[in-house]
Amino acid sequence: MTAIIISSQRYLDDDTVTAKIDARDFTVTLSPEFVVDGETYQTVIDGHHSYAAANEAGVSPDFVIATEQDDDRICLLDSSVDAYLEASYVDSDWYEIATGRGVF
């Protein structure tokens, strides 16, 4: 099963996206998979601008899965997905990055 990749960051700086395209920086760091109401998700931890740059350049992003050593919030997934999502919140409701559809 493929996870739904979600984010709570909507803000993008056009100059940063352009710089990412120029640098061919399309790396997007994701959380490990977790399940909510029978659906499997991953969150974008880092790389919102790189994801937008990949889309604009017409290439696939390079997804990398973070570990607890990369981001200590990941340990929250073992005890409370809600606590993880709250700690990872940026500036908007959670949405699917591929479609913009609100998730929660």
CATH number of the domain encompassing residue 9:
3.90.1530
In this model, does residue 102 exceed pLDDT 80? yes
DSSP lists the bridge partners of residue 35 as 40
Question: For the chain, where are the E strands, in sequence order?
Answer: 4-7, 27-30, 34-36, 39-46, 62-65, 95-96
Angle formed at CA 21 by CA 61 and CA 85, multiple of 5 degrees: 45
Res. 39 pLDDT band, cuts 50 70 90:
very high
| Domain carrying residue 26 | 4-92
Is residue 61 situated within a structural domain? yes
Q: pTM higher than 0.85, yes or no?
A: yes
Sequence-ordered list of residues with C-beta below 8 angstroms from that of 4, at least 6 positions apart, any chain: 39, 40, 41, 42, 96, 103
Is residue 104 situated within a structural domain? no
